[in-house]
Structure 1
Amino acid sequence: MEKSIHNILLVEDDLRVATLIQRGLEEQNYLVTMAYDGLSAKKLVYSNSFDLMITDIILPKMDGLELCKEIRQERPDLPIIMLTALGNTNDKVEGFDAGADDYLVKPFEMRELIARIGALLKRARHSTGNPIKILKLADLEMDLNTKIVRRQGVSIHLTPKEFNLLLFLLQNTGRVISRSEIAKNVWDTHFDTGTNYIDVYINYLRKKIDRDFDKKLVHTKSGMGFILMEEE
């Protein structure tokens, strides 16, 4: 079967970097549309059907974070990878909170970017056409069709990455999940053991789905990972 051709929007104001990335993607048979500032990228997304977007954070006219937030309103299903020189934990968390699906720090190897693209496109294919489904644990509900999360009937606003993390926990209710397993399944990558992404996002979830409720659902198993379950 002939491989389907995917159309990728690349947003990068450094012409040299943009050309190198474009060449590498085209060698993998991707169609690449270029944008050199955030405002132009936004207009392109609104008028075209892209399969994935790659964007820098520091851009003219509209930065990558604001671009990502606005695009999420129009295209919540569009996979987004951020490429940037800003590489500390706070920068990455800010990128994920803006709606990015993945985050790659410059300098990077082209084969790693290709692998990240492939993983996101594969996940996007598998997520289309799903029937209406509601996941439940105790008084917590997640509607996979509307992307609405409620506890005791109260709507809880989650960022895209928080939603995906909670989804993975709900799909594995009652089972201890390691940090590396969460990183692989929620971020499609393996983070260095020194980072604290997982703990940061678990803490976010606790504040939103546990803090204001008597029964706690997110639990830590010291030295092993995390488990979503009702308190005994």
Structure 2
Amino acid sequence: MERILIVEDDEKIARVLQLELEFADYDVAIAYTGKEALQKFGEQDFDLILLDVMLPELNGLEVLRRIRIKDKAIKVIMLTARDAVTDKVSGLDSGANDYVTKPFEIEELLARIRVHLKAIQPQVVPVAHPLIYRNIRVDTNTREVYRDGTLINLTPKEYELLVYLLKNKNQALEREQIISKVWEYDYQGDTNVVDVYIRHLRKKLDKSKPSLISSVRGYGYMIKD
């Protein structure tokens, strides 16, 4: 659960923001002065700060300046009733990530919060395991195929056909089925196109007999152990 610090001296506004953010499943803390904001920032970890500009004790720009000395990455959205361009520029120049002018629609503020929090989420890259069969290795990340460690140049369709056969190893695959999956449409023409591509693959991949790709007479092809 992401944690948000609301820094707002108007208790009614702070309470409304707290209720809306908690309803959106955020963990929320409130500071009513600039000094209290710095104290809570130093004591707890937050993912984002909603920071009012006009604050007692220390104004929002000074709070932001001190926060940025310690943390360059935390997301900060400035909140203010002032809408002058110079005020917005001052906030952004001080290190704010965004600027929202009061009065604002809560839906817009929530949308901006989601955007900034999404930006700090680690991007999960799915791990693609290589496909290995005998002396053939297929790197599905780079779409590269190696035979005995030597790169083999395949056309896009040759590559997709090989991957489909490898992923369905030990299954007899009908020509129409191969066309449907590899060419990704209902092919109405001659299924000999599969035979042509299999012949190309065999020429590029096979160093000796028997072939890596077995023929299933009267049906199609397969790769089998």
**TM-score per shorter chain, which class?**
0.5 to 0.7
Cα distance, 1:126 vs structure 2: 4.6
Counterpart Cα distance in 1 of 2:113 and 2:68:
18
Match of 2:76 in 1: 80
2:139 is equivalent to residue 124 of structure 1: no
The secondary structure found in structure 2 opposite 1:68 is helix
Matched residue SS, 2:100: strand
Q: Deviations over 1:87-130 (max 9, x none)?
A: 11111000101111000000000010100000001112258xxx
Counterpart secondary structure, 1:67: helix
Q: Which runs of 5+ in 2 are unaligned?
A: 124-225
SS in 1 for 2:120: helix
Distance 2:79 2:122 in 1: 24
User: Given the alignment, which residue of 41, 48, 51 partners 1:52?
Assistant: 48
Give the TM-score normalised by structure 1.
Answer: 0.52
How does 1:177-196 map onto structure 2 within 5 Å? none
Aligned residues: 124
Alignment partner of 1:53: what SS?
Answer: strand
CA distance in 2, matches of 1:44, 1:98: 20
Q: Which whole-Å CA distance do the structure 2 matches of 1:120 and 1:126 have between them?
A: 13
Number of the residue aligned with 1:42: 38
State the distance in 1 between where 2:70 and 2:92 align: 17
Which residue in the other structure is 1:25 paired with? 21
Question: Residues 93-104 of structure 1: matches in 2 within 5 Å?
Answer: 93-104=89-100
Paired with 2:62 and 2:122, the residues of 1 have a C-alpha distance of 28
Deviation at 1:75, TM superposition (A): 1.1
Q: Residue 125 of structure 1: SS of its match in structure 2?
A: coil
Letter aligned with residue 110 of structure 1: I
Question: Which of 57, 64, 71 lines up with 2:60 in the alignment?
Answer: 64
**Structure 1 residues 20, 63: closer, same or farther in 2, change over 3 A?**
same
Distance change in 2, residues 1:87/1:126 (3 Å): farther
| 8 A Cα contact 1:46 1:74, kept in partner | no
Superposed CA RMSD: 1.4
State the alpha-carbon separation in 1 of the partners of residues 40 and 74 from structure 2: 13
Q: Which amino acid aligns with 1:17?
A: I
- Larger RCO (CA within 8 A; separation ≥ 6): 1
Aligned match of 2:110 = 114
Query: How far apart in 1 are the matches of 2:89 and 2:122?
Result: 25
Structure 1, residues 160-182: CA drift from partner, whole Å, max 9, x if none? xxxxxxxxxxxxxxxxxxxxxxx
| SS of aligned partner of 2:121 | helix
Residues in 2 aligned to 1:87 and 1:125: alpha-carbon distance in whole angstroms: 31
Letter in 2 for 1:79: K
State the secondary structure of the residue aligned to 2:20. Answer: helix
